[in-house]
Amino acid sequence: MIDGVSGASASGMSGNRQTIAENFDTFLQLLTAQLKNQNPLEPLDSNEFTAQLVQFTSVEQALKTNEFLEAMMLSGQNANNAQAVSYIGKTVTASGATTDLTEEGAAWLYRIDEPAPNTTITVRDQAGNTVFTEKVSLEAGTGRYGWNGQSSSGETMPLGRYTVTIDARNSSGALVPATTQMMGIVEAVDVSGAEPYLTVSGLRLPLSAVTTVQSTPVSGGS
């Protein structure tokens, strides 16, 4: 998978090249037959013959251009694959509001452009049920919100996938746009499709959604 070019695009270009090649061969056959069967007393007009040669050259150039573009596409795909594979074991942040609750809890990164003292944070399970709600005051900029996995009633929620919603409001009650990101360790990379997908805490994320990559701290020690 990796690429910046989809498999469908690559196969499409290959098909186009094949079509051009077939037309190119047909053109050669017709031109050869025309030269062999022309009337010696009325030879092919030089201007018309020159125009055909120009067309011949244009078709040949189209073939070479397509081959060059295909080579560039493959090179880009290989570079993207290598980049994606290098993320395995790294901690990444990616656009999105869904992450996994582990034994250490769950965490999201957020960004708001102005202070939001009247903010409501809501956590929902995979079925969309609200399990936790909290009123908080957020400062402008980038921050981290952590959830310990307990519901609003104090019940310990099962490990799994949860989604956060940040309803940020300023002192006047006006909505403040907020963006959220999830964080986790890359466990695997799928390069079988048009774009590489990273598996982070069981979630499949497109490579394009990744915003930061960093080394994963080594836990434990002697």
Instruction: Assign residue 152 the CATH number of its domain.
Output: 2.60.40.4070
Going by C-alpha positions, the residue among 93, 59, 78 that lies closest to residue 186 is: 93
139 in a structural domain: yes
Is the Cβ–Cβ distance between 94 and 205 less than 8 Å? yes
222 in a structural domain: no
104 in a structural domain: yes
Same domain, yes or no: 159 and 62: no
What pLDDT score was predicted for residue 164?
94
Could you tell me the two tokens for 92? 């990444």
Calculate the alpha carbon distances from 163 to 100, 153, 182, 201, 220 in Å. Answer: 9, 18, 10, 14, 29
Q: What percent of the chain has pLDDT over 70?
A: 63
Pairwise CA distance, residues 41 & 33, whole Å: 17
Please report which helix (H) or strand (E) contains residue 118, including its range: strand 116-124
Same domain, yes or no: 75 and 99: no
Same domain, yes or no: 65 and 121: no
Same domain, yes or no: 35 and 103: no
Does the structure show a pLDDT above 60 at 5?
A: no
Pairwise CA distance, residues 71 & 61, whole Å: 15
Report helix, strand or coil for 21: helix
Same domain, yes or no: 154 and 193: yes
100 in a structural domain: yes
Does the structure show a pLDDT above 70 at 161?
A: yes
Could you tell me the two tokens for 117? 């003292």
Q: What is the mean pLDDT of residues 163-187?
A: 91
pLDDT digits (tens, 9 = 90+) for 16-60: 556 555 666 666 676 677 667 666 656 655 556 566 666 666 766
Same domain, yes or no: 159 and 109: yes
Residues 6 or more apart whose CB falls under 8 angstroms from that of 145 comprise: 107, 108, 109, 110, 121, 136, 164, 166
Going by C-alpha positions, the residue among 69, 52, 58 that lies closest to residue 17 is: 69
Same domain, yes or no: 171 and 203: yes
Same domain, yes or no: 96 and 138: yes
221 in a structural domain: no
Same domain, yes or no: 27 and 113: no
| 141-147 vs 106-112, strand pairing mode | antiparallel
Q: How many domains does the chain have?
A: 2
Residues 6 or more apart whose CB falls under 8 angstroms from that of 182 comprise: 93, 94, 96, 97, 98, 99, 108, 109, 200, 203
Listed residues 42, 64, 85: the one ending a domain:
85
Does the structure show a pLDDT above 70 at 221?
A: no
Same domain, yes or no: 70 and 134: no
Same domain, yes or no: 62 and 103: no
Could you tell me the two tokens for 4? 């910046």
Average pLDDT, rounded, for the chain: 77
The residue range of the domain holding 49 is: 7-85
- In this structure, the number of other CB atoms found within 10 A of the CB of residue 3 comes to 24
119 in a structural domain: yes
122 in a structural domain: yes
